């Protein structure tokens, strides 16, 4: 005989699982972003100051701009990668809650799908 699944409880359990994943990783992602953005901002300030005081010559300007662009591209790519990992962790947490609930209600041992 199947045990009834309470959808309200299931939703609360899913939200709890997602919150557990996102709260844990949010500070790590935030700290990474702050450090990288500080570096990009400082490089931008250094470039602007160098232009203003003429310590950066005309033939060096493009190298500085290319460096800032590459720093920004690397930041965006790394952040995107972290978000993919975060999405996978969230998906895994939600699937685990749902499959555990189904398994408990049915007495079966269904294998959860992979991301």
The confidence score (pLDDT) of residue 27 equals: 83
Q: Which pTM does this prediction carry?
A: 0.77
Q: What is the pLDDT of residues 3-54, one digit of tens each?
A: 999 999 999 999 999 998 888 788 888 899 999 999 999 999 999 999 999 9
Q: Which residue has the tokens 């490089």?
A: 43
Buried b (16+ CB within 10 A) or exposed e, 57-95: eeeeeeebeeebeebeeebeeeeeeeeeebeebbebbbb
Provide the CB-side half-sphere exposure for 86 (13 A, CA).
Answer: 19
Q: Give all strands (DSSP E) within 1-115, no chain letters.
A: none
The confidence score (pLDDT) of residue 25 equals: 81
The confidence score (pLDDT) of residue 28 equals: 84
Q: What is the pLDDT of residues 2-15, one digit of tens each?
A: 899 999 999 999 99
Q: What is the arithmetic mean of pLDDT over 86-101?
A: 95
Q: Which residue has the tokens 């972003």?
A: 33
Q: How far apart are CA 82 and CA 76, in angstroms?
A: 10
């Amino acid at each position: 005989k199947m045990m009834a699944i309470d959808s309200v409880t299931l939703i609360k359990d899913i939200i709890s699982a997602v919150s557990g994943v996102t709260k844990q990783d949010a500070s790590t992602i935030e700290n990474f972003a702050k450090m990288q953005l500080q570096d990009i901002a400082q490089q931008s300030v250094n470039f602007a100051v160098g232009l203003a005081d003429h310590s950066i010559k005309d033939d060096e300007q493009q190298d500085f701009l290319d460096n800032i662009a590459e720093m920004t591209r690397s930041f965006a790519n790394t952040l995107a990668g972290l978000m993919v990992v975060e999405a996978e962790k969230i998906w895994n947490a939600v699937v685990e809650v749902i499959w555990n609930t189904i398994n408990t209600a049915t007495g079966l041992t269904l294998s959860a799908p992979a991301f």
